[in-house]
Structure formats: structure tokens, C-alpha cells
Chain A
Amino acid sequence: MKKKKKMFGEWFEDVGITYVMLLPNFILFLAFVVYPIIWTLRYMMFDYNGVTAAKFTGITNFIKAFHDAYWWNAVMNTLRIAGLKLLIEIPLAMILAVLLNTKIKGKSFFRGAYFLPTVTSMATMSLAFSFMFSPYNGIINMLLKNWGLISENISFLENPTSAFITVVIISVWSVFGQNVLLILSGLQNIPEEIYESAAVDGANKVHIFFKMTIPMILPIFKIILMLAIIGSLGIFDPIYLITNGGPNHATDVMATNIYGYYFNTGSVPQYGYGATLSFISSIIIGIITVLYMRLQKKED
């Protein structure tokens, strides 16, 4: 008996404890990461509204999605919003990071200020934004009027084009600081001696920047760009909280479109169809990610 106990003790120390320590996190992982994915993969082939029994419908949902004009509008909006957002955000972050990497004072203040929006909650800030962009008493309209740039108040969120631009600006605001930080840390990792020896060799600054700095931060930059692409294609919070996809679906993106099938009050939920669309959106994001990685490989 005593011997058996000792054997268990040894087994526990060598093998058992390993799994005991992994277990809590693994259970939570299965429940809140794996299960929702499996759930989605299963119900994308069902007609299910949460009340009546789920009915297996095979690929019917996919055929429906194929002809769903609202869905493809949301896909196009996602690409447009993500495209414009990246087009502003990445060069802006790049420029600010390069400027911050010079010998200036107050570097950490500027860096800290640009990063500040990323620690705020879009939910909380959406309140300030809705006041700022308000058509009647909003401070942006008042300022533009005071400066003589506009004569009549703009209804930023009620016109499709201005709503689109407003949402992009707010999303850029909320994340660009993170990219400034990442690019800057890449720039700072370049050893000082490289610049010094280049300067001794008589290379000018522009030359050094394009021939040495850019190639050296390229690997990190590619990762940053990929993360930004994936993040932008999955954009949800700013859209949902600022325009909720409006006006008239002009800013509706994949995530907000899908969300509507699950939780929109006032319509019967379509969990099955929502699952189908979210599967399709994962595939779209996956394809774009793979294309991006392929393109990179070719360049190398």
C-alpha cells in the first residue's frame, strides 16, 4: 500500500501535474474558442432561429448568400473601408515613426500621445464622437463654420459619403498609434553604427533612408501590415457604435451585417444564416491573408 502511494506520487510529479496545470486554461479554451467555431461550422448548414427546431438545409444558406445583395454590399464596404483606412493609417504611422526616430525632444511624450487612443474604449469614446460630429451643436460643425470653411452645417453621419469618411477617420484615430509604436521600435532596433559608417562613406540622408533604413525594417513592416489588414477586415466596433452600418447600409461591413442576423432587435434572428455568412467572411479574410503572404514571398 505504501509503495503504491509512492508510485502515484512519482507519477503525479512526472506526468500528472503537467496536465493538471494545463487543464483550467484548456477547458476555457475549448469552451470559449473551439466550441463557437464548431458551432458555427455546424449551424451554417441549418435553418435555425432559436425558437423552432433547427432544420438541416445543406448548402441552401450558401446559395442564399450568393444572391444576397446586402451581404455583397457589406463585403465591398469592408474592402473599401479597410482599403482607405490602411491607405491613411500605414503611411501616417510610417511618417510619424520616422520623424520620432530623429534627434528631437519630447519623443516619449509624442509617442505616448499617439498611443493614447488605443487604450480607450470605442464604446466610451463613441459618445464624445457622436456629440462632436452632431449636425446641430457639434463642435466640428461650429469650428468649421467659425473658420469660414463651411456655410451650412454638415450632417456627417446622415450622408453616405461623409458617414463613410467619418467612420474611416475615427477608426484610423483609434489604432494608428499602435503602428507608430511598432514601426518606431523596428527603427530603433537598427544599430547606430550602420548609419555612422554610411555617413562616413558619404551617403546622404535620403539615400540612407531608402537604401538602408527601409530594407532593414521591411520584415517587421510586413508583419505590421498583415496585422493591420486582418484587423481592418474584421472591423466592427467603430462601425457598430458610430453608424450601425447606416445610412441606408452605406457603411455596413461584414461583421455588422452578420451581427444583425444574431442580435438585431425587431427581427427574427437567423442564427444558421449568420453562421454561413461568418464562415464566408473568414474565408474571404483567409484568402486575402494568403494572397498577401504569397505576394511577399514573390518579392523576396
Chain B
Amino acid sequence: MKRKNPNSLNPVIELIIYVILILFTIITLFPITYSIMGSFKDTQELMVSTSLIPKKFTFDNYIYAWNKINYARYTLNSVIVSISCVILSLLNSSMTAYVLSRREFKGKKIIKTMYLLSMFISVGPAAIYPTYGILVGTGLNKSLLGLVVIGAGGGVSNIFLTMGYLNGVSKDYDDAARIDGCSFFKIYVQIMLPLMLPIIGVVGLLVFRGIWNSYLLPMIVTMGQPELQTLPVATVNLKSAGDTATMWSVMLAAANISLIPMIIVYILCNKQFVNGITAGGIKG
């Protein structure tokens, strides 16, 4: 006798499940689709048509955004800041995680406790003013360097994520390398960094997402310095800029210049994102 698989679904229930899942997929994707499709319409059509698909595709909005309202520059700024922050914060978080995972030393408990506590203590937007104060005091607010420095830290949750991973890497690797005469630092560079690549990929993506999408801090830091603005800052400013405020399609094209690269990264690295969120969420 063939036993019925306990997990197989009754076709009616299966249909209901699909309807619910698809309905929420449509709702979820609607704003993003609206933004992307709208940028290929002209403003006239965007304002009167309820169809998402443009009657006639036009790239003019992108050309206008890129050339006329300086999006080439904002994109460059965003790329510079994001890439620098990802590289620096990966170095910082992996180095810190390596030391905390492999060494016993004076003050270890204090540092770990401080890092851990900081995950629960937050003063919210109030932190921005003193942070800005540091940048002004050091003159770092005059260039993109200010934004890079703020984002260069490891990020406490990323440190713990990396540490959790490293704790699962056998200490035999360290011992073998030490017998071969490797120093503590050399073991980090030559043995541990390559072994950490999977978690570094995950953390790098989370950092990239955070920095690329970050709005409030860059907005404050670049106040009065439009040439330093990043994409989200420039995009929000369009809402109140006189000459573009009525050009909806151009504004959507501008927004998409920041939106689409992130979506592409997400689609390409979907698995790492999923791993990062699930590992970080449960442990953190």
C-alpha cells in the first residue's frame, strides 16, 4: 500500500495558498515596479495613466537626471563612500573578531561588554549632532572622507556575526601555522581571511546595503555642500527643488539610479543576504 505523503497538499488549499502569496507579492512589488516603469514614461503619461507599462519607452528622463541635475556626480559620491566603507569596515570587523576569538588579554571582558551593551543603548537621531561635531572639529566634513570615517567602523553586530563564524573554525589551523613560524598577524592575513570569506561576503553586503541606502547622516554631513551629496540625499532634495518638482518622471529616474544597482546586487547575492539576515537576527 502506498502511504500518502503527509505534506502533500489538497489542490484547493494549494490554490488558496498561491492566491494569497501572489496577492502579497503584487502589493509588495507594486511601489518598486511603479518607480521603475514610471521612469520610462513621460510625466504627462505618468500622471494620467493607471497602466504600469509605458506606452512608449523613453530614456530621456535618465539622460536628463544624469547630465542636467548632476546625478553622475552623486552616483560617483555614493560609489566612493560605499566601497570605501565596505572595505574598511570589513577589515575592522574581521580583525576585531579574530582577536576576540583567538586571544585572551587584559581588558577583553570590558571591550566585549561595551560592544554588547552598545547594541541595546541608542540615543537615536540625537547621536547625529555630536557625530557631526566631531567631523567639523577635525575638518572631515569638508570632503567625502567624513562619511567614510563614520562608516569605517566594524559595526558591533557585524563583529559578533564574524566572531560566531570564527569560533566555528578549528584552532588546528592556527596551531599548524604557528608551528610553521607564522606570526599572529600573519595568521590573520594568510590563513584566517581566506577562511572567513563566506562570512565576509555576507557582512560586506549588509554594510553595503546600510551605507548605500543611508540618508539622515549624509544629509546632515553634506548640508550646504551639494557637491558631496550621495544618491538618497540628492533624491529627497529633488522633492523641494523648484525646477524639477513637477517633473515626476525625471525624479523617478533619479531615484532609480540609486534603487536599481541595489536591486541588482540583491538579485545576484540573494543567498548571502538570506544567510546574513537569518544568522544575524537569531544570534543578535
Q: How many residues on chain B are close to A (CB under 8 Å)?
A: 96
Contact A262 B255 (CB under 8 A): no
Most buried by B among A100, A122, A123, A224: A123
Does B232 sit within 8 A of A, measured CB to CB? yes
Determine if B259 and A125 form an interchain contact, defined as CB atoms under 8 angstroms apart.
yes
Residues of A within 8 A of B215 (CB): 121-123, 237, 241
Whether A36 and B21, one on each chain, are in contact in the complex, defined by CB atoms closer than 8 angstroms, is no
Chain B residues in 8 Å Cβ range of A262: 125-126, 128-129
The answer to whether B96 and A22 touch across the interface, beta carbons within 8 angstroms, is yes
Given contacts A35-B130, A127-B239, contact A282 B122 (CB under 8 A): yes
B97-105, B166-174, B194-202: which one contacts chain A?
B97-105
**Residues of B with C-beta under 8 A to A178:** 277, 281
Is there a chain A Cβ closer than 8 Å to B152's Cβ? yes
Asked if A60 lies at the interface with its beta carbon under 8 angstroms from chain B, I say: no
From B21, B134, B159, contact of A100 by CB (8 A): B21
Beyond A127-B235, A236-B124, whether A110 also contacts B277 by CB under 8 A is no
CB distance from B96 to the nearest CB of A (A): 5
Partner of B32 from the list A39, A117, A275 (CB cut-off 8 Å) is A117
Give the docked Cα–Cα distance between A181 and B149 (Å): 32
B281 touches A104 (CB 8 A): no
> Using Cβ atoms and an 8 Å threshold, which residues of chain B touch A13?
183-184
Task: Please state if A237 and B17 are interface contacts (CB–CB under 8 Å).
Answer: no
Which residues from chain B contact A234 at a C-beta distance below 8 Å? 122, 124
Chain A residues whose CB sits within 8 angstroms of the CB of B32 once the complex forms? 116-117, 120, 125, 128
A279 within 8 A of B: yes
Q: Say which residue of A34, A96, A124, A195 sits within 8 Å of B118 (CB atoms).
A: A34
Known A-B contacts A121-B258, A130-B239; the reply to A32 vs B24 at CB < 8 A is no
Say yes or no: is B131 at the interface (Cβ < 8 Å to chain A).
yes
* Bound-state Cα–Cα, A275 to B236, Å: 26
Contact A112 B270 (CB under 8 A): yes
Partner pick for B126 among A22, A25, A237, A274, CB 8 A cutoff? A274
A182 adjacent to B6 (CB under 8 Å): no
Looking at B134, B215, B252, the one whose CB has the most chain A CB atoms below 10 A away is B215
Number of interface residues of A (CB under 8 A): 92
Bound complex: CA A40 to CA B133 (Å): 13
Q: How far is the CB of B163 from chain A (nearest CB, A)?
A: 12
- Note all chain A residues with C-beta closer than 8 A to B232: 121, 123-124
Does B86 interact with chain A (Cβ within 8 Å)?
no
Contact A124 B121 (CB under 8 A): no
- Chain B residues lying within 8 Å of A72, measured Cβ to Cβ, are none
On whether the beta carbons of B21 and A282 are closer than 8 Å, the reply is: no
Residues 21-44 (chain A) with a chain B CB within 8 angstroms: 21-22, 24-26, 28-29, 31-37, 39-40
* B212, A121: Cβ atoms closer than 8 Å: yes
Q: Please, how many angstroms separate the alpha-carbon atoms of A278 and B278 in the complex? A: 30
Asked whether any CB of chain B lies closer than 8 Å to the CB of A67, the reply is no
Nearest chain A CB to B116 CB, angstrom units: 12
- A241 to nearest B CB, angstroms? 7
A-side contacts of B284, CB under 8 Å: 227
0/1 interface trace, chain A 107-144, chain B, CB 8 Å (1 if under): 01011111111011111111111111000010100110
Given A116-B266, A124-B255, A127-B239, are A227 and B281 also a contact pair (CB < 8 Å)? yes
Q: Nearest CB to that of B134 among chain A residues? A: A31
User: B256-280 CB contact bits vs A (8 Å, 1 = yes)?
Assistant: 0011001101110010011001100
- CA gap between A92 and B156 in the complex, in Å: 30
Q: Among residues 251 to 280 in chain A, which have CB atoms less than 8 Å away from a CB atom of chain B? A: 254-255, 258-259, 262-263, 271, 274-275, 277-279
A97 to chain B, nearest CB (A): 11
Cβ-based interface call for B228 (8 A):
no
Q: B157-202: which have CB < 8 Å to A?
A: 159, 183-185, 188
Nearest first, the 10 closest Cβ-Cβ pairs linking A and B are A121-B213, A278-B126, A123-B215, A199-B6, A28-B153, A36-B127, A123-B232, A137-B47, A39-B130, A128-B35
Q: Residues on B close to A: CB < 8 A?
A: 6-9, 14, 17-18, 20-21, 24-25, 27-29, 31-32, 34-35, 38, 46-48, 50, 91-93, 95-96, 98-100, 103, 105, 111, 114-115, 118, 120-131, 133-134, 149-150, 152-154, 156, 159, 183-185, 188, 209, 212-216, 220, 231-233, 235-236, 238-239, 248, 251-252, 254-255, 258-259, 262-263, 265-267, 270, 273-274, 277-278, 281-282, 284
List, sorted by A's number, 24 A–B pairs whose CB atoms are closer than 8 Å.
Answer: A15-B105, A22-B100, A25-B154, A28-B92, A32-B150, A33-B118, A33-B156, A37-B123, A100-B21, A112-B270, A113-B28, A113-B29, A119-B213, A119-B265, A120-B213, A120-B259, A124-B232, A126-B239, A127-B255, A199-B6, A227-B281, A241-B215, A263-B128, A263-B129
